[in-house]
Structure 1
Amino acid sequence: MICFLFFIARGHAEHRSFTIPDGPYDLLYDQGPLVTGVVTDENGEPLPGATVRIKGTSAGTVTDFDGVYELSLPETGEDYILQFSFIGYISREIALEGKTEVDISLETDVKALDEVVVVGYGTQRKGELTSSIASLKSDDFVQAPVRSPLQLLQGKVAGLAVGTPSGDPNAGAQIMLRGASTLEGNSQPLIIIDGIPGGNLSTVAPEDIESIDVLKDGSAAAIYGTRGTNGVIIITTRSGKGKEENRLTVDYHGYMSYEEVSRRIPVFSASEYRGLMDDPQIGNTLDDKGYSTDWWDEISRKPVNQVHTLLVNGGNGKSGYTASVSYRSRDGVIKNSDQERLTSRLSLNHSAADGLVKFNFNINNTQSKGRSIWEDVYRYSLLWNPTDRVMDEEGNYTEYPHSLNPVQQLLEETDENKWSEMLLNGKITIEPLTGLRLGILGGFQRNSNHRGKYANKKHYTNTQNGRNGNAEQWTNLHIDKTLEITADYNDQWGDHSLALLGGYGYYTSVSEGFSAMNYNFPTDAFSYNNIGVGKALQEGLAGMSSYKNSSTLISFFGRVNYSYKNRFMFMASLRQEGSSKFGADNKWGLFPSFSGAWRISEESFLRDSEVIDDLKIRLGYGVTGTMPNDPYLSLYRFAYGGFMYSGGEWIQGVGPYSNPNPNLKWETKRELNAGIDFTLWNSRLSGSLDLYQRNTSDLLYTYNVPVPPNLVSTIYANVGKIRNRGIELVLNVSPVSTEHFHWQLSGNVSYNENELTKLSNETYERDFLETGSTGAPIQKTTHLVREGHPLGDFYGWVSQGVDENGNWIIKKANEDGAETDADREVIGNGVPKMFAGLTSTMTFRQFDFTVGLRGAFMYQILNHFRMKHETFSYAYWNHPKTILDKPYGGDYYLQDVPKYVSYYIEDGDYVKLDNVSLGYTFRLKEDSTFIKRLRVYLSGLNLHTFTGYTGVDPEVNFNGLAPGVSPSLMYPTTSTYTLGLQLGF
């Protein structure tokens, strides 16, 4: 396909005329003198398809196959300037000055290779990279109203999966890089915001981000030691850049968005439900209440949301500043679910002592509040009988056994959340000698959260255990402090260049929280804000808890980069790190890495190639780690328990809670990565190919131990091993590039397979893990984890049909025996093995048009909703329409009680029309003193999903040990349509 597009473009380039702004022109004019010439590259080779244009006019042409052009001037006697351009080359202008023949040579545009990429503790030219690093600038981001900055990367980075399985305004995004590498540790990549590790994405407005760089392989991430196993995502926000003219610029970006449910589970309307009663097989299982209610219409709305961002930038040659404020308001498609967020940021830069000392200061602050709904609301809107009513004549909600009317759930329960996040950092850089730079960075991050829930006195008493009003509150506070001291030295001599980095880091983290619960309130007037007046407190039945923990991390790190003639490049890094989370015998760890690259295109046998512009091969190896989440797992811990009456008083008991493990340490990942970067055919085609293997050992998990000699029956230990292997391909194609029309295609595809190669050792043994849960009424685990198999295996019964009584026919190991747990088999896997993304960007004069597709393949989904509700055994429920699909093409409807069988394991493969954007940038006068930029656009997000999956959305959870389950407790995903405005002053 790529070659096909290239030859189309080549053929187009050889055509001797084209359409220019005011219409089609014949390129050979009779009225003026003829100018001819040849356009070549720096090696003297002709450039076919190069554009030759007369500056300030609409006249132009393109070169033929031999690089020759002919162009008639509009008039005689004018001093014209010719403009020469070709994709992948630096444009040039030549004044005619009466000449009628102009030959010109264009130099290769190495801008792509000179592009600056942010790496650990510094930057590098893209052409000098020896590791697998993906870099996206703001122009590359998904153009849509995203909830999380991670969504800006959806479908853009090979090997990086970003999922949004919920449409809840308060839900975030999930992420996985190069497969699952842990059983119980942290699976999220390390987030670094403006140099501060462990940053909270809530502190950054997506419109404030300048670039995002993803360190994918071990050699790139090893500089971050015990936090780099799952990759590193570095976010750089817009910073103040001083200008000599001391000019102030103001940019505004605002948009309004409309949301609707992208896909609903089809259930029966009231008339359709009544129509089923004529079927002799199922008519007696239905109950006509005599009314008609659209329950989805009762709980839903069609929200219009808004985002407004104002950014101010200014300064002079020594000082610069950037200030921004962003307001986001988003209502969910289900009533009483929403979020408001206000983000403000200030960045200051100052240079003193003739540039020898530089200061940088940043502060980000975010205030958010949101309301959530009970997670069963959407499910019950699908299940509630469509022939029933919301309320009776007395104003009482209709009720079913042990379940709530969905409208009742919305109106009788309040769930409110408030967040406050602040990120503050400052850096001082001193350059005492040429090439030597000393820096000290300090960071402070504070995240606090308050959540309150209240179910009023009318709330359905059966589900609240007879509680007459129920209130709950939670508060949490997390503080991170960072101190980093670095020194780096850069030098060049002859064909050699050298960069050295050394540093020290000190990081502390403190978390604390409090929660309280009470019920039986005298009034609903206080909601959760007067929690002490509930009677349960007086009766000793209220609940209360609190916690506080802390951890410290100390690091020493260094790196060396060497390059010879920009042809041979080498990088090595080493980090020694100590953490208070580890056992007494393993407080410190060493994390080395190395990588090298060879730019083959600089060798004599390829230097004059007409096809290859740039070709580089890479090889890297790195060791990284993963820390446990709990800071005290290595210690002997006690916990307070129940009370006993002794000596006339009640005494609270205390006993051992966890066994100590002085050998507890980090999970260790060793990753080997081989890659190739290429640019071909005058930058028409570029891309990269990476192959990797990552072996993660010393996996953290809980193991059973004997009592005695242990005091507790379980211990947290490093035992298991996981292997991930994969391949990633990135392609960028320019099929067409003319003076007014440009078309760019960017695509990526990644394939990953993992295997749990070890789960036990001579000390700690586990044959397998059963994880996940179907929930009531089935009450079975859903997944099996065992050696020699990938993570994410579904483990259940194989169904083969339905008998004449409507019961499942199950494949059994012993056909004469009863159905048992021993009959279960692996019936699918919930982790996609392949992800892909494709972005098409077209520009025509002032118009820009972008289409983004992404997909996931080779995985299965447990359709939880169908499994629990695709049965006629519940007379008072509505049903999904798929209940009429007689299983396996048989003759009987399903009448059996819900069971976890292979019939509900569906292929999840999908392709999403994820993002479409059409924009127009107005052409403004060059001497405009007020408006400098004006752009309007329309965009759509998550517009359509091509899939065979019958549930709400095939984009389900892919993390953890029970992936691929589409839960019945869900919030539907949405499609978003946006009208936006961008202004620059």
Structure 2
Amino acid sequence: MKKNPNKQKTYAWLMKGLICPFFFLIPLISFANSLPSAGHGVLQRKISINIENAEVKTVLKKIEETGSVRFVYQPQAVNTARAVSLAVEEMPIGHVLNMLFDGGASYEEMGDLVVIKPVNRSVVAPSSVSGKITDAKTGEPLFGVNVAEKGTPNGTTTDEDGKYALTVNDSKEAVLVFSFVGYASQEISVASQSVIDIELVADEKELEEVVVVGYGSQQKNLLASSIVSMKMDDTRRNTPTTSAGNLLAGQMAGVNVGTPGGIPGTQPSISIRTGSSFNPQNVLYVIDGKISGAGDFNNLSPNDIDNVSVLKDAASAAAYGARAAGGVIVVTTRRGVKGKTSVNYSYNTGVDVRAKNPPLTSAIETGEIYNRINPTAPDIWTQSDFDYFKNINGGWGYDQLEAVWENPYTSTHNLSVSGGSNKVTYFAGGSYAKQGGFMKNLTFDKYNFRANITADLTKNLNLFAGVTLNNNLSYTPTNTAVGDVAGIYRKQLLWQPEQPVWTDGGNPIDYGWIGNVGAEVRGDGGYITKNDIKPVINLKAVYKIPVVPGLSASVQYNKSYSNSRSKQFQKRYDMWVMKKLGSSRQISTKDADLVTPKKSTQIGKDFISETHSWSNDYQLNFQVNYERTFAKVHHINGWGVYEQAGSNDGGITGGRETFPVYTTDQWWAASGDRLDDYARGNTVNTYARQSWVGQMFYDYDQKYIVGFTCRYDGSPKFPKEKRWGLFPSASAGWVISRENFFKVKAIHFLKIRASSGLTSADNINNWQWQQSYVGGSSSFFGTNTATNVGITYGGITNPNVTWEKTLNSNIAIDIDFWDHFSATAEYYHIKTYDILGQRIATVPPTFPRSLPSANYGEIRAGGIDFSLGYKNHKEGLNYYANMNLNYGGAKYVTIDENVTFPWQKKTGSSLSRIATRVNTGMIRTQTELDAFKAANPKYNYYGVAPALGQLTYEDISGDEGKPDGKIDNWDIKTIYENNNPVNLGLNLGASWKGFSLDATFSGRLFQKSYMNSLADGVEWNRMWKNWYTDGWTPENTNASLPKRYSSNDGAKGVTNNESTFWLKDSGFLRLRLLNVGYNIPADYLKKTGIAGIKIYFSGTNLFMFSKFNKLYYDSELGDPFLYPAMKNFNIGINVSL
């Protein structure tokens, strides 16, 4: 292929042309100043103003400058000499005037002119009112709250302690209005009261008004892309979890969070909408501007998070181009707030309780099933065995899991300090969380520290400095042939019920196997520790350029270091071979009945080893921002960014085997013999990226909205000619409710929007575009038949490999109606093409080489997101309900495949399609068997002839394209074209007089799952109890389950294999979080120096609505014998100073 040396320059020129145009639009838009304004009246224009202790006439002049309005009034009729303080953001001018005069004046619009007229009032005797205003959730005092006497110009603001004092004209008739940015206003009748304390409730809609959009922020009502966000409140921050990802469950439409098993430190799976590639489309995380991984996000302390934004469509995610195909989660950590220093401490502790595992057979039941399916085995259970085990735990036998079980516990400490002055604000927080496992030597400890400082060094120069430290420590007992933690749990749950774990003196009894699982849990076989530590430094400077209003420049640099140290100590240990009291199953537990000690054989040699791995990365951003409003109605906001990032990593492992004299977990005790030493190093990897980004947003009078985003990305995974990728997007919206013709009183806000854009991925190995070499030892030289060590060619190269691309389109409607309701409905379509994959299926199976990735595949996907919210307050009761759901799926359009059977064909089918055998019934009696054989003389299941207790299947086809009487791979067919669930989230809450209740549900509806894993397992272990109570036997021909076969019987597939018999509805709705709290009244704390105390109970995973779970097991985990999700019961306290 002919190369074009100017292609890269052309791309760079094109990118610069796409980033910069909006800067050249500035002088053009300036001409709009000469145009007349349109839209709503002047009193509806929104302004922001912050002024303290100024005369009303000074405030009016400030409003004239800010809102392009003129006021006319008679000074002798309207009191403008009094001093007021006022702080509002994006509030209509009419509302601001109401706060200034509060009913003491009326206003008449005349174009851009507003005439202020006095309202006559009678003079009454004044009286004094005072009180304290606090946050309804946290109980913390609120500084700067506006307190006004309704209908008068009389007002004040709260001090740093949230206190106020005001003289009202008539205490019987006066009404006080309490208002504050970010909170819902309240009106309270004085009614002769002298003290009125108020709890203000956060206005979630107002708090979410500004959201993070790529490399900047924008008012949410001025966006046409798909972004959802959540504000982290104290309820979420005090949730007992070691993973921040768990806090997102059920919160936002299109964000799917899976419940992990209960192993300490396990992180949940998170996805956005639906996948559309052969390759992983991982979510990209951005924390305070730093591009990060899932581990960095989950390792955040919930106490450090301020808000989370999720960029779901390409119009919002294209700013992160090459890694944004799976969506982007943007996290902003907490900052300080000006005011006196606030100290907050919270502590919670609780216990974990096992969620559901399926019911299992007792020792007696296990023995009866064993004998039934192995009637000729030499080790069948004798009557003596049954009589013996009737006296062991009432016939249950020895419980391996119960012998080592400890109820896991959790505890969390959070401490934070925040505050600041007009020039400097600060937030510092530290947290410690501990999570235990079901066994003694299974723990996870997590330490977090964060300090964020923001300083206005000059009028135009702002500096942000952030320092973060995360340290995770885990301790597990083993990872040998006995199994890891999940394997140990499974073994102990199911292990032979006739096998005792300990002697009466606590010594491990020989299992007749490589080890004793209980001894492994206790730590007799050693342990594994892991310590991960990661500090991050984040610096950002922003300079407002004085000569160009609205123009600013910034530079941000962050650096992180990761260090991981893992130590493994494994040793053999003594097991006790005990005397048999009858048969081999009847094992004595008396220490005096020791026959002989025996070494475990789970490892070949005792050893100690350590692995050290490290990495460091940096990110450097240069950015220019511009935001300005022209002619009162033309608003532009945009930025251009240059970004570069790099990283490198490496590692080394060393170990020693055997301990000549003394076995301990120290290196000095291990053998120093060279043959017992080993070491290996990891390849040192270096990686870098370079990008240009441009984003621009424009709106006309907050009615007509457009946005453009473009990213120009470079990746070293592609050849120079293909290295750079251009990823643009566009969005447009129309706020219909702001039109003059829109007169629907029930609808307060109505917006339609649409977007489309391109994102990408480069999820392949490095250097596939150039020839590589590997070590070899199979070369011959001359006539010598000995092989020689050297190098040889690696895989086949692909010089044309380039970006995988995802085109994402979105249409939506946002609506607020009936005062209390809000809703959003979205439809999206995704086309991923040039998907990177190996074309293995189209080459002969004898082809000896490994093919490189090629751009050939295509997948199309689509779905809907929907959310509905309701909130209200009445007579001191505040309550809310939010529901969100999403549904999506994908299908193959182009995929390399080698199809033998029709059901294997993927092209045109859903990624979640279910194809299986069709169960037609069960042979229950000899009469039915005879009739079945007569009607189906050739019938067999993969060579197994029909028999009593068997399932039967539909004969669909054969190798000649028609039914042939045999059940084999020709008889698998598509049962469901897709198995895409509806993901549902539900949030409910209320607060009243200091009490609060919050609940979060999430689940997946209308999905199917196989439960034939309950048919697996060996019959000398415990098994699903239904095999005993409801399995087919000659005596129980009406059973629901078929005949249970021996695990060694080749016919077991007739029962165990996947089919429609085992396919069940596995939808569920889980109560993820329940929090009940109480804020102690401020009056009780006045003399203590404590600003607020909240006590609460919280629980996670408390119960599940699911028929599948009730009958079988937790379908979200997908395995009946997996380490289960834990139910957590937790109590806590939150203290503010």
CA distance 1:729–1:717, change in 2 (3 Å): same
1:223 paired residue among 319, 324, 345: 319
**Partner Cα separation in structure 1 for residue 699 and residue 188 of structure 2:** 36
Contact 1:469/1:524, CA 8 A, preserved across alignment: no
**Partner Cα separation in structure 1 for residue 190 and residue 1115 of structure 2:** 62
**Partner Cα separation in structure 1 for residue 813 and residue 244 of structure 2:** 29
Instruction: Map Cα deviations across residues 955-975 of structure 1 (whole Å, 9 max, x no partner).
Output: 13xxxxxxxx5375x321100
Letter of the 1:553 counterpart: R
Are 2:308 and 1:156 aligned? no
Instruction: Map Cα deviations across residues 505-564 of structure 1 (whole Å, 9 max, x no partner).
Output: 0011223233456655547734485797388x7289x67452222221111111111110
Q: Which residue of 1 aligns with 2:671?
A: 533
Q: Which residue of 1 aligns with 2:1114?
A: 953
Q: Which moved more, 1:830-839 or 1:847-856?
A: 830-839
CA distance 1:403–1:427, change in 2 (3 Å): same
Q: Which residue of 2 aligns with 1:617?
A: 752
Q: Which residue of 1 aligns with 2:762?
A: 627
Shift of 1:337: 1.8
**Partner Cα separation in structure 1 for residue 188 and residue 1016 of structure 2:** 74
CA distance 1:863–1:510, change in 2 (3 Å): farther
Instruction: Map Cα deviations across residues 857-894 of structure 1 (whole Å, 9 max, x no partner).
Output: 2323344641422xxxx442121113233379468532
CA distance 1:397–1:722, change in 2 (3 Å): farther
Instruction: Map Cα deviations across residues 194-216 of structure 1 (whole Å, 9 max, x no partner).
Output: 11012512552111101011111
Q: Please give the secondary structure, in 2, of the residue aligned with 1:897.
A: helix
Shift of 1:271: 5.2
Which protein is bigger by CA-based radius of gyration? 2
Shift of 1:668: 0.9
Q: Which residue of 2 aligns with 1:720?
A: 857
Shift of 1:588: 0.4
Q: Which residue of 2 aligns with 1:921?
A: 1079
CA distance 1:342–1:381, change in 2 (3 Å): same
More helix by share: 2
1:426 paired residue among 539, 554, 558: 539
Within a 5 Å distance, the mapping from 1:734-753 to structure 2 comes to 734=871, 736-753=872-889
**Partner Cα separation in structure 1 for residue 487 and residue 229 of structure 2:** 40
TM-score, length-scaled by structure 1: 0.81
**Partner Cα separation in structure 1 for residue 998 and residue 260 of structure 2:** 24
Q: Please give the secondary structure, in 2, of the residue aligned with 1:585.
A: helix
Are 2:552 and 1:441 aligned? no
Are 2:1134 and 1:982 aligned? yes
* Equivalences, count: 872
1:257 paired residue among 337, 347, 350: 350
Instruction: Map Cα deviations across residues 799-839 of structure 1 (whole Å, 9 max, x no partner).
Output: 55555455554545447565544444446699642100111
**Partner Cα separation in structure 2 for residue 843 and residue 604 of structure 1:** 38
Letter of the 1:382 counterpart: L
**Partner Cα separation in structure 2 for residue 858 and residue 641 of structure 1:** 53
Q: Which residue of 1 aligns with 2:310?
A: 214
Are 2:1058 and 1:909 aligned? no
Within a 5 Å distance, the mapping from 1:643-792 to structure 2 comes to 651-682=788-819, 684-704=820-840, 712-734=849-871, 736-760=872-896, 767=899, 786-792=906-912
**Partner Cα separation in structure 1 for residue 107 and residue 1128 of structure 2:** 47
**Partner Cα separation in structure 2 for residue 97 and residue 452 of structure 1:** 71
Q: Which moved more, 1:278-287 or 1:398-407?
A: 278-287
- Aligned-residue CA RMSD in angstroms? 3.9
Are 2:1124 and 1:972 aligned? yes
**Partner Cα separation in structure 2 for residue 90 and residue 570 of structure 1:** 30
Q: Which residue of 1 aligns with 2:497?
A: 386
Contact 1:151/1:173, CA 8 A, preserved across alignment: yes
**Partner Cα separation in structure 2 for residue 700 and residue 558 of structure 1:** 27
Shift of 1:953: 1.9
Q: Which residue of 2 aligns with 1:72?
A: none
Q: Which moved more, 1:888-897 or 1:431-440?
A: 888-897
1:360 paired residue among 464, 467, 475: 464
2:604 paired residue among 442, 460, 467: 467
Q: Which residue of 1 aligns with 2:213?
A: 119
Are 2:473 and 1:369 aligned? yes
Specify every segment of 5 or more residues in structure 1 that has no aligned partner in the other structure, as ranges. 1-36, 44-53, 58-74, 99-108, 771-782, 957-964
Q: Which residue of 2 aligns with 1:897?
A: 1052
**Partner Cα separation in structure 2 for residue 89 and residue 509 of structure 1:** 44
Are 2:1044 and 1:880 aligned? no
Within a 5 Å distance, the mapping from 1:812-961 to structure 2 comes to 812=955, 813-814=957-958, 819-826=967-974, 832-863=980-1011, 865-869=1013-1017, 874-884=1018-1028, 885-886=1030-1031, 889=1039, 893-895=1043-1045, 896-897=1051-1052, 899-902=1056-1059, 903-925=1061-1083, 930-949=1089-1108, 950-956=1111-1117
Q: Which moved more, 1:314-323 or 1:524-533?
A: 524-533
Shift of 1:653: 4.3
Are 2:773 and 1:638 aligned? yes
**Partner Cα separation in structure 2 for residue 653 and residue 712 of structure 1:** 19
Contact 1:435/1:491, CA 8 A, preserved across alignment: yes
Are 2:451 and 1:346 aligned? yes
Contact 1:467/1:520, CA 8 A, preserved across alignment: no
Letter of the 1:479 counterpart: N
Within a 5 Å distance, the mapping from 1:543-554 to structure 2 comes to 544-554=680-690
Shift of 1:399: 2.4
Contact 1:784/1:792, CA 8 A, preserved across alignment: no
Within a 5 Å distance, the mapping from 1:71-150 to structure 2 comes to 78=171, 80-83=173-176, 91=185, 112=206, 115-139=209-233, 142=236, 144-150=239-245
Q: Which residue of 2 aligns with 1:191?
A: 285
Contact 1:559/1:571, CA 8 A, preserved across alignment: yes
Q: Which residue of 2 aligns with 1:29?
A: none
**Partner Cα separation in structure 1 for residue 802 and residue 1119 of structure 2:** 35
Q: Please give the secondary structure, in 1, of the residue aligned with 2:490.
A: helix
CA distance 1:376–1:727, change in 2 (3 Å): same
Contact 1:557/1:575, CA 8 A, preserved across alignment: yes
Q: Which residue of 1 aligns with 2:420?
A: 315
More strand by share: 1
**Partner Cα separation in structure 1 for residue 189 and residue 919 of structure 2:** 80
**Partner Cα separation in structure 2 for residue 695 and residue 41 of structure 1:** 55
Q: Which residue of 1 aligns with 2:47?
A: none
TM-score, length-scaled by structure 2: 0.70
Instruction: Map Cα deviations across residues 898-917 of structure 1 (whole Å, 9 max, x no partner).
Output: 64322444332111122111
**Partner Cα separation in structure 1 for residue 987 and residue 950 of structure 2:** 48
CA distance 1:474–1:641, change in 2 (3 Å): farther
Shift of 1:644: 8.1
CA distance 1:96–1:362, change in 2 (3 Å): closer
Shift of 1:304: 2.5
